[in-house]
C-alpha cells in the first residue's frame, strides 16, 4: 500500500506542477499578447460632412450612469474641436485595445492648414516612438511619420486626446462595450455614437 500511495502522491504532485506551469505560460502569453497585439484597426472608414453626436447634457450625473456620462463628455470635446478647427472630413480607425475585454480606441484624423495658430493652447510634445497606435494611424493616413518625430498634444478641457502632426489633427476617444464588436455594422454603430454623416 505504501508503494501505491507513493505513486499516487507523486502523480498528484506532477499533475499539480503541470497545471501550475501551464497556467503560468497561459498568463504570460495573454499578458504579452495584450501588450503586443497587432496594432491594426479592426475597422476603418472615411466620413465627410459629418456632425458630432451629442446626447442629452449629463453634467453632474456621473454616479447615475458613468458610461453615458463619460461618452457625453467625449462628445462635447469632439464638438468643441470640430468647430474650433472647422474639420470637414475624418478618417476613422477603430482599434481593439485588449484581446480579452471589449475595449476600443477610436482615432479620427482630419486635415488642417499648415499655418494654423495654436498660440491659445498649451502644447505638450509626445514621441511617436512611444505611441505605436498613433504612429500606425498616421501611417495609414499616408502621413509617412518617423519614429524619431514628435506630435503636439493640445492640453485643454477637451475630454478627448487631441494631437497635431504636421497638417493633421488626431482626435482619440474610448469606447467600453458590453460585448465585442463582431461585424462592420456593429463597428460603424460604435463610431456613430460619436460622429455620423450630417443629416440632410
As a 3-state breakdown, the chain gives helix, strand, coil percent values, each rounded to 5, of 40, 30, 35
Cβ atoms 162, 83 nearer than 8 A: no
Residue found by looking up cell 488642417 in the block: 112
pTM for this model (two decimals): 0.76
Which residues, in sequence order, are bridge partners of residue 92? 45, 108
Residue-range domain boundaries for the chain: 1-36, 43-197
Pairing status of strand 150-155 against strand 89-96: unpaired
Query: Burial of 87 by CB count in 10 Å (0-12 exposed, 13-18 middle, 19+ buried)?
Result: buried
Q: What pLDDT sits at residue 44?
A: 94
Query: Each residue of 98-148: pLDDT tens digit?
Result: 777 888 999 999 999 888 888 888 899 989 988 888 999 999 988 889 989
- Over range 41-51, report the average pLDDT: 91
Range of weakest confidence among 7-11, 76-80, 165-169, 187-191: 7-11
Amino acid at each position: 500500500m505504501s508503494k501505491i500511495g507513493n505513486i499516487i502522491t507523486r502523480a498528484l504532485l506532477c499533475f499539480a506542477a503541470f497545471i501550475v506551469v501551464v497556467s503560468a505560460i497561459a498568463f504570460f502569453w495573454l499578458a504579452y499578447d495584450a501588450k503586443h497585439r497587432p496594432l491594426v484597426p479592426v475597422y476603418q472608414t472615411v466620413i465627410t460632412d459629418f456632425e458630432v453626436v451629442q446626447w442629452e447634457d449629463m453634467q453632474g450625473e456621473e454616479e447615475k450612469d458613468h458610461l453615458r456620462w463619460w461618452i457625453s463628455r467625449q462628445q462635447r470635446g469632439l464638438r468643441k474641436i470640430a468647430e474650433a478647427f472647422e474639420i470637414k472630413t475624418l478618417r476613422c480607425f477603430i482599434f481593439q485595445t485588449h484581446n480579452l475585454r471589449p475595449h476600443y480606441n477610436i482615432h479620427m484624423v482630419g486635415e488642417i492648414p499648415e499655418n494654423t495658430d495654436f498660440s491659445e493652447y498649451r502644447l505638450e510634445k509626445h514621441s511617436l516612438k512611444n505611441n505605436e497606435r498613433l504612429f500606425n494611424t498616421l501611417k495609414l493616413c499616408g502621413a509617412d511619420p518617423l519614429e524619431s518625430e514628435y506630435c503636439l498634444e493640445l492640453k485643454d478641457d477637451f475630454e478627448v486626446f487631441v494631437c497635431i502632426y504636421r497638417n493633421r489633427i488626431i482626435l482619440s476617444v474610448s469606447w467600453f462595450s458590453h460585448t465585442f464588436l463582431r461585424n462592420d455594422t456593429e463597428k460603424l454603430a460604435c463610431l456613430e455614437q460619436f460622429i455620423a454623416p450630417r443629416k440632410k
